[in-house]
Amino acid sequence: QKEVEQNSGPLSVPEGAIASLNCTYSDRGSQSFFWYRQYSGKSPELIMSIYSNGDKEDGRFTAQLNKASQYVSLLIRDSQPSDSATYLCAVNGDTPLVFGKGTRLSVIA
Amino acid sequence: GAVVSQHPSWVICKSGTSVKIECRSLDFQATTMFWYRQFPKQSLMLMATSNEGSKATYEQGVEKDKFLINHASLTLSTLTVTSAHPEDSSFYICSASSGQVEHFGDGTRLSIL
């Protein structure tokens, strides 16, 4: 069974710090990797996708992928209170996506 | 970007009522749509995969006669919760695939009294 593991948190970081969110996956054949952000009571929204090993940067967000270690991470620089949410890691080898249970991030002002 | 519209956003109804939720891809065609359920403070749970023009594929433990899915066109899938009961109260979310990316609707909060 394909699994995606995340630390449930909460992960608390001070405003302005770097938040580091981690995810491991079991299916070595996975091809596509996504980070979604979900605010309480809202549906998930896509913030990053990554398909090849290495880093991918988009504004304050950097996704990192290491297929050999079956590990994907999300770094949030200059964390803001508005970044406080649950971050879902999702992995795809074939449809549908397999989601982790999410890590709750709390950015303290 | 890809937009998925879900309607209604909130439903409150009596036990025994059937409720229909619509999911539309507004600016792209989606051969595959997904239906999820999420209880408070829990993770997303995939209920079924909806393919245009064919029967939906339900996840283990999801009653297909209870949760009717129709994907009649490339832009519309519907989920009908038949004879809903209080234990069906939850946050129902659809998503539509554009390539390998899933785009989510805003969700429907269903409350059965």
How far is residue A33's CA from residue B103's CA, in Å, rounded to a whole number? 14
* Residues of A in Cβ contact (< 8 Å) with B46: 96, 99
B49 closest CB neighbour out of A88, A96, A102: A96
Q: Which of residues 71-100 of B touch A (CB under 8 A)?
A: 91, 93, 97, 100
Residue A46 to residue B93, Cβ atoms within 8 A: no
pLDDT digits (tens, 9 = 90+) for B10-41: 999 999 999 999 999 998 888 889 999 999 88
**Chain A residue closest in CA terms to B34:** A96
How far is residue A35's CA from residue B50's CA, in Å, rounded to a whole number? 23
- Tokens 């065609």 identify what position? B29
A96 closest CB neighbour out of B46, B103, B104: B46
Residue A42 to residue B107, Cβ atoms within 8 A: yes
**Chain A residue closest in CA terms to B109:** A41
Report yes or no: B28 at the A interface, CB cutoff 8 Å: no
Band (pLDDT 50/70/90 cuts) for residue A92 is confident
How far is residue B93's CA from residue B108's CA, in Å, rounded to a whole number? 6
Looking at residue A95, its pLDDT comes to 64
Band (pLDDT 50/70/90 cuts) for residue A104 is very high
Looking at residue A74, its pLDDT comes to 98
